[in-house]
Structure 1
């Protein structure tokens, strides 16, 4: 396990300049003064497994913040695969770090366990910051009315498509569900061997945009009791449309019934797919896998039923402060430094994700790059969150949504039956007492 020792200071002048630089002065201005970190130490866990080598980034942090306070930060990189067990063991033993990167679906779980510090007073103490947080990440970091996860970085899924195929057929990027079907029909007629819009059966997060796009909900909380909405008329309409792409329109294949997102990306990189849902972090990997695709890939927001933007699940991370910290103000200074301004933009650039504050996304939102701007718009205007419940992990572990999808795609159940069964299971799991 890789460990590095860094010197850290509070925001002070460096962060203030960084915020101004990232948005021409429109970003939140620091309203809290510098924190004296002399003689103090922070322990920080950052996840390892999907992020690049951050040595140079950490060195830059060290130089900037040693000058400000001289506080020492011990950054330990933890493998994602081991992280949840590491966290639960540390929480049980009272040995949690001061600050840690926490996956968005873990934040409510750890908050419910009483392990995290409420961040509301810190957010409210920074002028404009509360309104600058990316909505989907803010929602995912809020539990029982309080913010426990400061948005750090995120990725989002949108439609990725073959621009060369669309151009050849005189097609435009779809802006409604009808457009998707019309484009799919044209692609299928022109090349029956190409999958116009495959529907993977083991890709949970690709299902929810169609539920939301039809006006449905995954689950809602009323006074502490959760009720899944997967079997509502609107949710069923969205799921019917999505599965019909395979079962009715023939835009998918029987093999895709068990596909994960990685299988979908492999098929696209092999030149066998015209449209798919895929993450903002994937286009470069697709081109790397098949250089012939360079200049032939475009992206578009996921449309709602009649247009607009269907919300798409934000994947990413928060930075959270654990309540065992002896230096909460210094922990917040570090958290703010990592999540706002130039350092946040630089980290996002290195990882291929987007920052967690809207002001740091100015360049992305104004970009003319066809593989940047649509994803940025999807994230800011159409970013969604799965139910913020400490039990949603149990729903994912049970594979409730994937099982529902596979039963429909395989013809074992119709949409009404499959969604009813899934809704019951989801409701039971979300209300399960620990």
Structure 2
């Protein structure tokens, strides 16, 4: 018996080693052509735009295959001694030598310049230029360009640069050309005298820019190594622009301050006179419309008006990422030397410094300005730009108009961020090691010997611990002191130290390694933001003292006292309004409220004659309390999809079906969006916005693995072994797709019981749990965005907010990812059912209103295509792309600046949108289904038994609530039925927009 046990143990070790070796080898021998596991037949075809995504030239290595960072490649070039001293090469924009078949290019005039290339890109396109290089070297690239201007064009122009079909480093895949934005000043005021945040106007003109990495992570512009001879430069992108010329030239050298000062001429003399004061909010231009203004009530902030909202500063939280840049113009009376001072606040992350690149008249004056550090402090600070010894820097300015520019930069932190990202990847590999050893099952009765079973594990894990300690020390050095992030890293180090102290116990605590990954990924995300709030700047003659910029203790005390007393001065209360004025509450931010009020005054009131007062609703809890007190509004907007039902069942809302033209409103939206607002024969809410679950995929990684975008779940199941053999996987998926796509409903039509234990319901639950039990999909994921960005998750289902996050925060993935409708189930007629829920926000009319008809007119206007289009465009113009308005009105949705291929995928998924109904007690549904999933997947309990247990718990709570609201009596006998609506057909209302979208895309 002992001999048998010893033999079984040895065989187990051999099998584990073979598995690990096989998995590793798959990473080196990836399939070169799609195999059976990746096939998609023509009958199952996805939208053409998605299918085309995976047919193009990938242009060399990809991020998922370990494409190097620019810093790594630049270091190699420097070690080889490649020179950056050479001549200039200029290529005219119209002189392109090739283009993609779909490239929309013409040569002509644009905005007062003749003979330029007008590239009206609408989808992924490319153009190529032949470059003749006489002298080998490192070249910076400068492009003279003009962005297209209009409501459809708001984002930066993103280009993928390749030389000779190769991207030398990751950052070359995403370089950005920016626009010029200018706030409309002075700000308008509301009826209380408070300023309304001003929108931004696109004031772009012909500009010239040296290409930088889109993340703002390097001090200098990007360089490309070109050997002598002929090269082909390819520019790929989907953003339209006009190009005058492209210059390849030597990078501009920037000396340190001491060298610059020693070279100054006699014109750079010390000067005297009054300082020039610049209000930060009055910038000449900014390169991102989302850099907004903020108001600060510190008594020393200017301008200042007690008790009023005055936008008197640059919003630090919105000026914190990428290459966000703000410029101010000012005049000085004479040539000479000047000091620069500014009043700033940098208190966003405890003890963490922020960095800015500072330019004067378009040039960084000396190297110390490449990444100037602004230290942390709890309040406003006044500072003069100075060296480590407190000696002010002196800047040479010319008489007349000058420009001062400040740009966000992460340059000092970039090496640290790269190392931290590698540590996160290392932890993920260690989790995979433990999973391969234990088979994913934690057996508390088994004893492990990690050093024997995984010979390199301890060395590798200790190496990660040592590297994390080094990262922490370097971060302290760059930051100038310990901060919240380094303290968090120290906590992770302590956890790693404990595991190293009892290394054999780690097999039972692999979840701790996953938790560490999540924490470090969060720290990495925080490092990428550099917030800085700015009140005003001073240009001070070198012979003069810098003005005082901080309030005295007495001024602070006096200002605080007056502000406190001013809070007792009454403004209009939330529940009040003028007689005959429609009272609307909005559960969104102040910018949304102000814009809705502005549009109502401009569009709705003149047409309808109905006056509207829009109020900010801080919390839905406040709505509950005020409704109970009898001071509810007439209309409320921005409510979650559950609230209308909760109010309706208690008699608090107006039944919208009572309006004679309700059916016209109903036709505006997909039937599946109305389901949550149904109660007892009526509809008590109207859809405002909705979010979609979409399939996100990395084009580069799927191409490398020979895989196609999955069309059905069978395609997914066939792909998973290939993904898993390459240490990749599918993240968790919500349950709605599996229930709905199997034809199941969550509740019986009468609304009195669940429908989960029907054959279709059980099939949906089993497929959901089989995804993890049989097909081994990931059971948890710390961050879809971080994992998808790094390439460890090349495919997954997430909502439409992930789209915005990737567009805004992951520009380096330009052209490397796409979205598609979620996988579905093949039907007998050859169609693929893709039913999925998402999420809806709503507008309602309260029951006790005396202005029900006026409220209905307002809701009809607010949800109309005209109002939604205007609001969606204006809110994005005001706050940037991160505020993309996901309207439920499909006509308005089509006017927003989505990429053509992406909107086609969203429209396909829109057809299959179907929300979960609300019934009394249905709040138990999500919790108990998750409990059932835990029992089946984590505890290994039979799926049918687990689901039946969940159904009992759900129906017990439903019975209690159904009795409370008189749907069944105390004996369980039915008194009345809810008669829930059932949606079984995809929405045909999408079809006209699919056709019009295709036609619009074909227009020149």
Measured against the shorter chain, the TM-score band is 0.7 to 0.9
The structure 1 residue matched to 2:866, chosen from 318, 342, 360, is 342
Question: Number of paired residues?
Answer: 377
Counterpart position of 1:20? none
In structure 2, what is the Cα distance between the partners aligned to 1:293 and 1:367? 17
Q: Which moved more, 1:95-104 or 1:130-139?
A: 130-139
1:316 aligns with 2:840: yes
Secondary structure in structure 1 of the residue aligned to 2:709? coil
Secondary structure in structure 1 of the residue aligned to 2:692? strand
1:384 aligns with 2:908: no
CA shift digits 1:155-175 (9 cap, x unpaired): 121222212222223322211
CA shift digits 1:330-383 (9 cap, x unpaired): 11111111111221234456453533344444557x97634333223212x111
1:375 aligns with 2:912: no
1:151 aligns with 2:687: yes
In structure 2, what is the Cα distance between the partners aligned to 1:353 and 1:160? 20
In structure 2, what is the Cα distance between the partners aligned to 1:108 and 1:53? 24
Counterpart position of 1:68? 607
Unaligned residue ranges in structure 2 (runs of 5+):
1-188, 193-577, 877-882, 965-1004
Report the alpha carbon displacement of residue 292 of structure 1 after superposing the two structures with TM: 2.4
Secondary structure in structure 1 of the residue aligned to 2:697? strand
Counterpart position of 1:35? none
The structure 1 residue matched to 2:777, chosen from 248, 251, 257, is 251
In structure 1, what is the Cα distance between the partners aligned to 2:611 and 2:664? 29
In structure 2, what is the Cα distance between the partners aligned to 1:90 and 1:395? 29
The structure 1 residue matched to 2:887, chosen from 331, 335, 355, is 355
CA contact (8 A) 2:604 2:861 kept: no
CA contact (8 A) 2:581 2:613 kept: yes
In structure 2, what is the Cα distance between the partners aligned to 1:302 and 1:86? 38
Counterpart position of 1:431? 959
Q: Which moved more, 1:144-153 or 1:231-240?
A: 231-240
CA shift digits 1:84-117 (9 cap, x unpaired): x223222322221100122212221211111111
Counterpart position of 1:284? 804
In structure 2, what is the Cα distance between the partners aligned to 1:166 and 1:388? 39
Counterpart position of 1:174? 710
The structure 2 residue matched to 1:268, chosen from 788, 793, 808, is 788
CA shift digits 1:383-422 (9 cap, x unpaired): 11212214323444xx212222222221342321221111
Q: Provide the TM-score with structure 1 as the length reference.
A: 0.78
Report the alpha carbon displacement of residue 424 of structure 1 after superposing the two structures with TM: 1.6
Q: Which moved more, 1:290-299 or 1:313-322?
A: 290-299
Q: Which moved more, 1:68-77 or 1:421-430?
A: 68-77
How has the CA–CA distance of structure 1 residues 348 and 185 changed in structure 2, closer, same or farther, with 3 Å as cutoff? farther
In structure 1, what is the Cα distance between the partners aligned to 2:847 and 2:802? 36
Structure with higher RCO (Cα < 8 A, 6+ apart) = 1
Matches within 5 A, 1:184-199: 184-189=720-725, 191-192=726-727, 194-195=728-729, 197-199=730-732
In structure 2, what is the Cα distance between the partners aligned to 1:315 and 1:333? 25
CA shift digits 1:191-240 (9 cap, x unpaired): 21x22x1226xxxxx11111111222222242x52x22223332332333
Unaligned residue ranges in structure 1 (runs of 5+):
7-37, 201-205
In structure 2, what is the Cα distance between the partners aligned to 1:330 and 1:429? 38
Counterpart position of 1:32? none
The structure 2 residue matched to 1:48, chosen from 564, 588, 604, is 588
Report the alpha carbon displacement of residue 52 of structure 1 after superposing the two structures with TM: 6.5
Q: Provide the TM-score with structure 2 as the length reference.
A: 0.35
Q: Which moved more, 1:263-272 or 1:419-428?
A: 263-272
Report the alpha carbon displacement of residue 54 of structure 1 after superposing the two structures with TM: 5.3
1:113 aligns with 2:650: yes
CA contact (8 A) 2:675 2:917 kept: no
CA contact (8 A) 1:321 1:331 kept: yes
Secondary structure in structure 1 of the residue aligned to 2:844? strand
**Which has more helix, going by share of residues?**
1
Larger radius of gyration: 2
How has the CA–CA distance of structure 1 residues 352 and 332 changed in structure 2, closer, same or farther, with 3 Å as cutoff? same
CA contact (8 A) 1:151 1:319 kept: yes
CA contact (8 A) 2:583 2:612 kept: yes
How has the CA–CA distance of structure 1 residues 348 and 154 changed in structure 2, closer, same or farther, with 3 Å as cutoff? farther
How has the CA–CA distance of structure 1 residues 66 and 383 changed in structure 2, closer, same or farther, with 3 Å as cutoff? same
Counterpart position of 2:760? 234
CA contact (8 A) 2:586 2:593 kept: no
Secondary structure in structure 2 of the residue aligned to 1:429? helix
Secondary structure in structure 1 of the residue aligned to 2:832? coil
How has the CA–CA distance of structure 1 residues 214 and 395 changed in structure 2, closer, same or farther, with 3 Å as cutoff? closer
In structure 2, what is the Cα distance between the partners aligned to 1:131 and 1:415? 40
RMSD: 3.0
Secondary structure in structure 1 of the residue aligned to 2:941? coil
Report the alpha carbon displacement of residue 4 of structure 1 after superposing the two structures with TM: 6.9
The structure 2 residue matched to 1:404, chosen from 928, 932, 951, is 932
